[in-house]
Structure 1
Amino acid sequence: MEAAPVAEPYVPTDEDRASVEAWFREYDALAAKADIERLADMAVFPLNVVSDDSAGEGVAAQWTRERYVETMAQVMGGGGDVRMESVRTPHFLSAGLVVVITEATMTWEGGSTRTRYADLLIKNDGKWRFQTMVQSGWGDNLRS
């Protein structure tokens, strides 16, 4: 029996990269204004949310638009002057699927923190939309 041919990894075009960068510029601008409804417009629901809990166990959930808006309103609604600097590395699986790893530093008066997270973006009706969010530390909230 012959071995199946090995598919080469997708090589993104400059246009692919630019479209994801533009998507994140829009996302960041909306996040800076805490425009949660418009952020929700940039997603595909149900939205997969993957994390770990305080015991170190992996947890996954699917959020409706309503749950996303409610949760993000609590997370982003704190106000204050919070600045976020991000370095994103896209890993294209195809022309319509990209996993983006983000290294971010959030700074506010009196402190800062660093984080790493991943988003799966899918091309839907010709536009990028996020479909899966992966970040450590949310798991206890996902169990409810």
Structure 2
Amino acid sequence: MTFLPDTGHIPSAEELAGIQEWFAVYDAHSAARDVERMADMAVFPLNLISDDSAGNGASAQWDREQFTETMSRVMGDGDGDITFESVRTPVFLSAAMAVVFTDSAMTVDGRTRQLRYADILIRRNGTWAFQTMMQGGWGDHLR
């Protein structure tokens, strides 16, 4: 009989801070619309899970080129300020894997939009990277 290891991981304060610091850098790249630096923080192929305008679940795998092309188009040309106010809840599956749930307010040119999403991050060589993004409403962009 094979015994699986105990599951779950109780993160240290340092591990929790590391996730928050990683997202602070990612949010800064997003606010600057620096899609190339955002892509540097991912593992490709990147898994995406969403739903489409018809209400169907959708998924895809993107390479770096597709990520940068789509995110550049979606984020626009850089006019107007973007700010994020986010509350993140990381759930560590191990010291090297975390699912991070985010409730965020994104403000662009004085208009605020509420967002809820989840990311799966993996830690490689001491550095976090996102490998899966999950958010409603992106399904039409996944084709």
| TM above 0.5 | yes
Match of 1:21 in 2: 20
- Give TM-score, length-normalised by structure 1: 0.90
CA drift of 1:81 comes to 2.2
- Give TM-score, length-normalised by structure 2: 0.90
What is the 5 A alignment of 1:1-144?
Answer: 7-78=6-77, 79-109=79-109, 111-143=111-143
Which ranges of structure 1 fall in alignment gaps of 5 or more residues? none
Cα 1:10/1:110, change in 2 over 3 Å: closer
Task: Tell me the SS of whatever aligns to 1:68.
Answer: helix
2:39/2:67 contact within 8 Å kept: yes
Specify the structure having the higher radius of gyration (Cα): 1
Which amino acid in 1 is paired with 2:103?
E
Cα 1:50/1:126, change in 2 over 3 Å: same
CA drift of 1:6 comes to 8.1
Provide the rounded CA distance (Å) in 2 between the counterparts of 1:101 and 1:41: 21
CA drift of 1:106 comes to 1.7
Which ranges of structure 2 fall in alignment gaps of 5 or more residues? none
Equivalenced residue count is: 141
Q: Deviations along 1:25-73, whole A, 9 cap, x unmatched?
A: 1111111111111111110000001000112111110000000000111
Which amino acid in 1 is paired with 2:114?
R
**What percent identity do the matched residue pairs reach?**
54
